[in-house]
């Protein structure tokens, strides 16, 4: 656990309470001297011989194009690795200098970096920091007694490794009622699904629907005396879904401040209510945002102008970082960042670059890798969990499976192998070795009469793969209301190594997007990938869309899809 103690440096007024906690006057307040810079140093995790720490610098002087922060340790701490800064050490003296991508530091601007170190004995917080030779004020934190009541704002460090282990998962009454009203729907109406906060109004309830507090109160009722996970989808970035018009949102590309103050801050305030402290709150942070900054921007051939805008203004990275930072402050919140799916990010050009992008967002706007509990793959998508009849290592008729039209040189053929490999990559970049993956299995079962029972013919690599694959889409780039899809594995905890849970984050029966243009007040556009007559684009190798007809706008109930998902469920419904 970490707590924050505010040190008085450079002529700040100080008020000391009976507990000994020091509270510094707000810079710029009555009687306060000018504050050239502030350093927030927090020990995020600490064990017998090592620790990780995050450092946030706020510059209140003239804008900088480069920066260098220095401090000295009183003990024997040694920095072993760092991220988002070049961290070097000579004796007790440490220097952290900017990387090429984060040297700019505007007046009033902040930047963050982190590092891992070793120590023995005590791990005292450095007393003084200088930014380019100027002494800064310090907010410093480190491990303390978890029974200390004087620090209600910082996480107590009592999160469990896997929130799904030993816990029930919240059944959304609104979805459950719709499912139960469908013929045969009672068979799955008691399954847990995600609660989508896809616009600001969802916090207080849309059109008389349940508010966030209503869901949390119902979660407490369902919890009883045991443990319960409630799953929330954080999904309202400015310029949302820059490459898919069907799920555009209410905020324009530049409205990052509205995202912070009108969306994330109110959600955090509700989640931090002590009334809900006994719940395990899983947040799935911003579906389909960060991968777009890798795969759908210039100079790539599949670039879209809206994604170029969002990469240039940085508001996806800022928004995700801000959400992780703020929500990560709530002790019983578990942040899982969306990580696309294998048919999007599994290629060599996309895999590593996406992992780096996730790291960049996880260390932006005051966030650190410690604010990330894990990642989620296949959210609201259809990629098969595990292909049993072919593997990436197979060779047929003198060709590798990777050369087939379906695999198309991807490194992965299913979500399980992709999720496990991505987890290893993320750990290698500095994420905690205990991070876990979630896989959304709500619509990737691909059962029914057409489910293959063995490999395809070996006459060619294409007949081999196409004859044996469970995923029957025209292309892995197809994402909207897919014809022939079925419910997948039921939600379960710890199903495979590195996987925290299979989840139904996308509620089955909720449309991905309208099959034709429909006027609406939700900011959602019409995407041709939801049109069953559409013949494709470069992102799906110019294949048919495979979408169902007569679909409503995204998030609205789609009875025909729900029935098809039940019919094609695998494992089958009884």
Position 110 confidence tier, pLDDT thresholds 50, 70, 90: confident
Whole-angstrom distance, CA of residue 315 vs CA of residue 254? 7
543 labelled binding-site residue: no
Residue 284 near residue 331 (C-beta atoms within 8 A): no
Question: What pLDDT does 462 receive?
Answer: 97
| Cβ-contact 251, 259 below 8 angstroms | yes
Look at the domain 168-568 and name its fold. TIM Barrel (3.20.20)
Separation of alpha carbons 566 and 182, rounded Å: 10
Q: Which of 60-64, 147-151, 374-378 has the lowest mean pLDDT?
A: 147-151
Spatial CA neighbour of 509 closest among 485, 537, 477? 485
Q: Are 430 and 114 in contact (CB under 8 A)?
A: yes
Give phi and psi for 44, each to the nearest 5. Answer: -85, -45
Q: Is the torsion defined by CA of 295, 299, 304, 310 positive or negative?
A: positive
Contact assessment for residue 390 and residue 413, using Cβ atoms and an 8 Å cutoff: yes
Contacts 24+ apart (CB under 8 A), 254-257: 254/313, 254/315, 256/315, 256/318, 256/319
The reply to whether 510 sits in an annotated binding site is yes
Residues 6+ apart with CB under 8 A from 143: 1, 2, 43, 46, 123, 157
Query: Active-site positions?
Result: 241, 288, 512
Phi, psi of 399 (to 5 degrees): -130, 150
The whole-chain average pLDDT of the chain stands at 88
Task: For 236-272, give the DSSP string.
Answer: --TT-STT-GGG--SS-TT-HHHIIIIIIHHHHHHHT
| CATH class of the structural domain 37-139 | mainly beta
Model confidence at 47: pLDDT above 90: no
Burial 34-69 (b: 16+ CB within 10 A, else e): ebbbbbbbbbbbbeeebbbbbbbbbbbbeebeebeb
The CA distance from 195 to 283, in Å, is 10
Pairwise pLDDT comparison (541 vs 487), residue with the higher score: 487
| Mean pLDDT, range 118-147, rounded to an integer | 77
> How big is the CA angle at 317 (ends 315 and 322), to the nearest 5 degrees?
90
pLDDT tier at 101 (50, 70, 90 boundaries)? confident
Average pLDDT of span 324-348: 96
* Order of strands across the sheet that contains 110-118: 3-7, 137-142, 37-46, 50-59, 110-118, 78-83
Q: In this predicted structure, what is the pLDDT of residue 6?
A: 28
Beta bridge partners of 95: 70, 88
> Is the pLDDT reported for residue 546 higher than 90?
yes
pTM equals: 0.74
User: Can you give the residue ranges of every domain in the chain?
Assistant: 37-139, 168-568
**Residue 196 annotated as lining a ligand binding site:** yes
432 is in an annotated binding site: no
Per the annotation, does 198 bind a ligand? yes
CB 478 within 8 A of CB 381: no
How far is it, in rounded angstroms, from Cα 9 to Cα 27? 12
Q: How far apart are CA 305 and CA 288, in angstroms?
A: 16
32 band by pLDDT with thresholds 50, 70 and 90? very low
pLDDT for the residue 448: 94
Q: How far apart are CA 268 and CA 329, in angstroms?
A: 9
Largest CA distance in the chain: 83
242-251, 462-471, 524-533, range with the lowest pLDDT: 242-251
What is the residue whose two structure tokens read 């928004």? 319
Q: Which residues pair with 58 in a beta bridge?
A: 38, 110
pLDDT band with cut points at 50, 70 and 90 for residue 259: very high
CA dist., res. 401 & res. 464, Å (int): 9
Confidence grade of residue 83 (pLDDT, cut at 50, 70, 90): confident
Average pLDDT of the segment spanning 27-35: 44
- Inter-CA distances, 460 with 58, 170, 390, 540, Å: 60, 47, 13, 22
**CA pseudo-torsion sign 150, 152, 157, 163:** positive
Alpha carbons 297 and 359: distance in angstroms, whole number: 18
In 3-state terms, what secondary structure has residue 436? strand
**Number of residues written out for the chain:** 574
Percent of the chain with pLDDT over 70: 91
Give the Cα separation of 521 and 512 in Å (integer).
17
Given a contact cutoff of 8 angstroms between Cβ atoms, the answer to whether 342 and 420 are in contact is no
**CA-to-CA distance for 156 and 389, rounded, in angstroms?**
47
Annotated binding residue at 47?
A: no
Which segment of 13-17, 362-366, 499-503, 542-546 scores lowest on mean pLDDT?
13-17
Q: Measure CA of the first residue to CA of the last residue in the chain; give whole Å.
A: 46
* DSSP labels, 353-375: HHHHHHHHHHTSTT--GGG--EE
Answer yes or no: is 98 a known binding residue: no
Sorting pLDDT into bands at 50, 70 and 90, what band is 301? low
Query: Using one digit for the tens of pLDDT, what is the confidence trace for 211-247?
Result: 999 999 999 999 999 999 999 999 999 999 898 777 7
- Judge if 37-139 and 168-568 fold alike in CATH terms: no
Q: Is 494 left (phi over 0), alpha (psi -120 to 50) or beta?
A: left
- Is 318 a known ligand-binding residue? no
Mean pLDDT of 537-545: 90
Surface-to-core class of residue 446, CB atoms within 10 Å of its CB (0-12 exposed, 13-18 middle, 19+ buried):
buried
Backbone dihedral region for residue 207 (phi beyond 0: left; psi -120 to 50: alpha; all else: beta):
left
The answer for 405, left when phi > 0, alpha when psi is -120 to 50, beta otherwise, is alpha
Q: Are 554 and 246 in contact (CB under 8 A)?
A: yes
Query: Given this model, what pLDDT does residue 255 score?
Result: 97
User: What's the pLDDT at 145?
Assistant: 34
16 pLDDT exceeds 80?
Answer: no
- Measure the CA–CA gap between 298 and 95, rounded to whole angstroms: 35
Residue in 479, 352, 77, 560 with CA at minimum distance from that of residue 360 = 352
Average pLDDT over residues 147-159: 43
């Amino acid at each position: 656990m970490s707590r924050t103690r505010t040190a008085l440096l450079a002529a700040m007024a100080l008020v000391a309470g009976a507990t000994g906690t020091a509270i510094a006057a707000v810079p710029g307040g009555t009687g306060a001297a000018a504050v050239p810079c502030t350093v927030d140093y927090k020990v995020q995790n600490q064990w017998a011989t090592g620790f990780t720490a995050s450092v946030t610098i706020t510059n209140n002087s003239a804008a900088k194009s480069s920066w260098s922060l220095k401090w000295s340790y009183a003990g024997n701490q040694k920095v072993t690795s760092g991220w988002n800064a070049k961290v070097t050490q000579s004796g007790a003296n440490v220097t952290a200098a900017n990387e090429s991508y984060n040297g700019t530091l505007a007046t009033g601007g902040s930047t963050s970096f982190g590092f891992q170190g070793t120590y023995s004995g005590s791990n005292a917080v450095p007393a003084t920091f200088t930014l380019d030779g100027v002494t800064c004020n310090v907010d410093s934190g480190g491990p303390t007694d978890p029974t200390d009541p004087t620090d209600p704002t910082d996480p107590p460090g009592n999160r469990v490794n896997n929130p799904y282990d030993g816990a029930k998962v919240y059944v959304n009454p609104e979805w459950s009622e719709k499912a139960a009203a469908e013929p045969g729907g009672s068979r799955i109406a008691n399954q847990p699904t995600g609660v989508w906060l896809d616009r600001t109004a969802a916090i207080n309830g849309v059109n008389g629907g349940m508010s966030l507090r209503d869901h949390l109160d119902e979660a407490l009722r369902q919890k009883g005396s045991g443990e319960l996970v409630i799953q929330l989808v954080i999904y309202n970035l400015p310029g949302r879904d820059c490459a898919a018009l069907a799920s555009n949102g209410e905020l324009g590309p530049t409205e990052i401040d509205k995202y912070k103050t009108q969306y994330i801050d109110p959600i955090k305030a509700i989640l931090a209510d002590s009334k809900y402290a006994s719940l395990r709150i899983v947040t799935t942070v911003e579906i389909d945002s960060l991968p777009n900054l890798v795969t759908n921007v210039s100079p790539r051939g599949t670039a879209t102008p809206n994604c170029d805008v969002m990469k240039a203004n940085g508001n996806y990275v800022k928004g995700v970082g801000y959400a992780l930072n703020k929500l990560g402050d709530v002790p019983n919140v578990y942040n899982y960042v969306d990580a696309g799916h294998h048919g999007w990010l599994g290629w060599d050009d996309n895999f590593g670059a996406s992992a780096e992008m996730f790291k960049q967002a996880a260390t932006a706007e005051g966030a650190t890798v410690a604010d990330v509990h894990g990642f989620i793959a296949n959210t609201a998508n259809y990629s098969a969990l595990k292909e049993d009849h072919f593997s990436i290592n197979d060779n047929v008729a003198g060709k590798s499976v990777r050369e087939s039209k379906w695999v198309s040189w991807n490194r992965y053929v299913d979500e399980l192998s992709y999720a496990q490999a991505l987890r290893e990559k993320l750990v290698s970049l500095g994420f905690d070795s205990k991070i876990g993956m979630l896989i959304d299995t709500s619509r990737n079962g691909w059962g029914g009469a057409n489910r293959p029972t063995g490999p395809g013919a070996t006459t060619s690599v294409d007949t081999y793969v196409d004859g044996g694959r469970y995923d029957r889409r025209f292309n892995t780039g197809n994402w909207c209301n897919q014809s022939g899809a079925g419910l997948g594995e039921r939600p379960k905890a710890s199903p495979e190594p590195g996987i925290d849970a299979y989840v139904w984050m996308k509620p089955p029966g909720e449309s991905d997007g309208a099959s034709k243009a429909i006027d609406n007040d939700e900011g959602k556009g019409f995407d041709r990938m939801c049109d069953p007559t559409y013949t494709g684009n470069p992102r799906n190798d110019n294949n048919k869309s495979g979408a169902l007809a007569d679909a409503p706008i995204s998030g609205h109930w789609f009875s025909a899809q729900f029935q098809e998902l039940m019919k094609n469920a695998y494992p089958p419904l009884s």
